[in-house]
Structure 1
Amino acid sequence: MQLVIVTGLSGSGKTIALRVFEDSGYYCIDNLPATLLPHIQNHVADRDAAKVAVSIDSRSIAIESLADILQTLKTQGIAVHLLFLDASLETLVKRFSETRRKHPLSTPERALADSINHERVLLSGLDNLGHHVDTSNLSSNALRNHTREWMLQIEQSYQQASTHSLVVSFISFGFKHGIPLDADFVFDVRSLPNPHYDPVLRPFNGTQAPIQQFLQNEPQVLEMQRDIQHYIEKWLPSFYHDHRSYVTIGIGCTGGQHRSVYLVEQLGAYFKQQHQVMIRHRELQDALVTATP
């Protein structure tokens, strides 16, 4: 059985992500108590459900034992993948305020921001068990696209019957919009020549030929690309030996339109030769997401 766990902060998009799996034919269970996970295989056996997606939130009984429960399921031969959705405090406060919904951990004595911070403490440690996604700057449609691409990655890994594979996720971003919460490594490329100051180049982004040609002719850009590439090559094995399934690498420039986008495209193309690679450009319109085998 293939089992996907969707968890994370309330208001970060768990319902949106779970619906992606439901639309793709997964047998979905919303807000399952963590203590029932060990019995999930018996529960769905009669339904001929080979692919199951389960949403678990901070209110779940024994949420602090979820990491041990997942390890037990893996030893039973169940392919378990965890998707952890996160967002900044400011974003979550805004989302709850706009929808006028009550936070699940709120009390008369606990303000909204305090409830969010309390939930983050309860879920601490789970963000490192799987694919960690910061949805602060993602639209609902962008989150659906990213979840769908991640789903295709894990299904491909499942079909290949690989005992352990490492998915390398590259994300471009603009520092003026904040550092992604899901990044394991962050590289600052704001010191590189900036196409933004050329009125002819400004309307383009790093996925397009005019920007690529400009940056390819800058020795500093090529040197930065090589240095980042060598650093990642050196330290990726440590993630693999630590049995991590995902590593997220953030490349940031000022606005997240040109330099960071270009370098993510170049690094993604290089590392896809040996790894499964996911690429996300956080600041581009429609939050372009691509996946490579």
Structure 2
Amino acid sequence: MEEEMRFIIITGLSGAGRTLALRIFEDHGYFCVDNLPPALIPKFAELCRQTRKNKIALVIDIRGGDFFDHLFESLKSLKNMGYSYEILFLDASDEVLIKRYKESRRRHPLAPERRIIDGINLERKKLEPLKAASNVIIDTSYKTPAQLKEEIVRRFIETEKETGLLINLVSFGFKQGLPLDADLVFDVRFLPNPFYVDELRMLSGNDPRVREFVMNCPESQKFLEKLTDLLKFLIPCYIREGKSQLVIAVGCTGGRHRSVAIVNELASLLRKEGHKVIVEHRDENSGGGEKDEL
């Protein structure tokens, strides 16, 4: 029996990590091509089928110029030919992208004679429809190469033979900005703040003392009760709709105490329900305080 072909389309903002992502897939046995003109995708898929290449990763981006405008037409043809595909969109904040361009001393491909931010803004606008159609969006603003590799492996490589919904729980600090790939965002700044307790200030929500402080609050228990009820309703709906990953972000001011403790508790509850859950504490060690709490 012929193995089903798996296509991963890697796209996103210039400077957000597309080349690194392609190397990660290549290291895991994917046949990889960078900057393939979208119009050639259907013919390329047929060639891969004839040569029995069943795992393919393609980087498609605005470097193709006018060719990029044919992407959705080519993807429709790919689907009509009976091939399925997934779109991985890599994003990052404007500030981080500008810093990366400055460090590499490169010009933005859409604004070679203008400011970098002009190119970023134009690229975001061009990529809006593709981002909306993406299966997975990863914000690389705060990720090291090792962390990006770990997330791609978890979301794609480890799930190749798995079914069901993969739930990513992310704790974060509003001071550092929202996770760009979040599907659901919850604000726990209404809970008592361990920052104002001297012996807890320098600890994180992973410490049992901080966990006890946060969870002893009746509002914490009530919040988790209502949140789990909501997720029990939503998760089957997402599965029926065909969603493969769900990113739930929980934020406090600095991302060190309350959000970390709540995410850990939520992960435990969801795992007891049989869900596959991955936890990331994005800002636990960012050094952000919570002084200007509501």
Q: Name the TM-score class by shorter chain.
A: 0.7 to 0.9
Corresponding position of 1:253:
252
Matches within 5 A, 1:105-254: 105-108=110-113, 110-128=114-132, 129-157=134-162, 162=163, 165-254=164-253
Q: Per the alignment, in what secondary structure is the counterpart of residue 82 of structure 1?
A: strand
Which residue is 1:283 aligned to? 283
Partner amino acid, structure 1, of 2:102:
S
- Greater CA drift, 222-231 or 37-46: 37-46
Distance in 2, Cα, partners of 1:244 & 1:69: 23
Secondary structure in 2 aligned to 1:136? coil
One-letter identity of the residue aligned with 1:187: F
Shift, 1:53, TM fit: 1.2
Report the Cα offset of residue 169 of structure 1: 2.3
**Secondary structure, aligned partner of 2:46:** helix
Question: How far did 1:275 drift?
Answer: 4.0
TM-score of the two chains, using structure 1 as the length reference: 0.85
- Asked whether the 8 Å contact 1:153–1:276 carries over to 2, the reply is no
Q: Cα gap change, 1:63/1:241 in structure 2, threshold over 3 Å: closer, same or farther? A: farther
Deviations 1:21-60 (CA, angstroms, capped at 9, x unpaired): 1111211111112222222332324554221111111233
Q: Which residue of 2 aligns with 1:18?
A: 22
Aligned: 1:37 with 2:36? no
Task: Report the equivalent of 1:289.
Answer: none
Amino acid at match of 1:211: V
In the alignment, residue 189 of structure 1 is paired with which amino acid?
V
Amino acid in structure 2 at the alignment position of 1:225: L
Bigger shift: residues 125-134 or 54-63: 54-63
Would the aligned equivalents of 2:108 and 2:119 in 1 still touch at CA under 8 Å? yes
Distance 1:5 1:217, change over 3 A: same
**Contact kept in structure 2, 1:216 and 1:222, CA below 8 Å:** yes
What CA distance in whole angstroms lies between the structure 1 residues aligned with 2:69 and 2:242? 21
Whole-angstrom CA distance in 1 between matches of 2:262 and 2:158: 22
In structure 2, what is the Cα distance between the partners aligned to 1:215 and 1:80?
43
Task: Give deviations 1:110-152, integer Å, cap 9, x for gaps.
Answer: 4211111111111112223211111112222221221222123
CA separation in 2, counterparts of 1:42 and 1:98? 40
Aligned length: 279
CA drift of 1:256 comes to: 1.0
Which range is displaced more, 214-223 or 273-282? 273-282
> Which whole-Å CA distance do the structure 2 matches of 1:254 and 1:173 have between them?
8
CA drift of 1:7 comes to 0.7
Give me the whole-angstrom Cα distance separating, in 2, the residues matched to 1:87 and 1:177.
12
Match of 2:291 in 1: none
- Aligned 8 A contact 1:135 1:143 in 2: yes
Letter in 1 for 2:68: I
- The 3 A distance-change label for structure 1 pair 49 and 209 is farther
CA contact (8 A) 1:134 1:180 kept: yes
Partner of 1:291: none
Distance 1:269 1:67, change over 3 A: farther
Q: Per the alignment, in what secondary structure is the counterpart of residue 123 of structure 1?
A: helix
Give per-residue Cα distances to partners, 1:82-134, cap 9 Å, x unaligned: 211101112111111121111121242x4211111111111112223211111
Q: Displacement of 1:65 after TM fit?
A: 4.5
Larger radius of gyration: 2
TM-fit CA distance, 1:190: 0.9
Matches of 2:68 and 2:285, distance apart in 1: 36
* Aligned-partner Cα distance in 2 for 1:247–1:228: 15
Distance 1:46 1:197 in 2: 65
Partner of 1:78: 83
Percent sequence identity over aligned pairs: 39
Matched residue type, 2:160: E
Distance 1:103 1:270, change over 3 A: same
Distance 1:254 1:113, change over 3 A: same
- Given that 2:168 and 2:279 are in contact with CA atoms closer than 8 Å, whether structure 1 keeps it comes out as yes
Secondary structure of 1:201's match? coil
* 1:56 aligned residue: 60
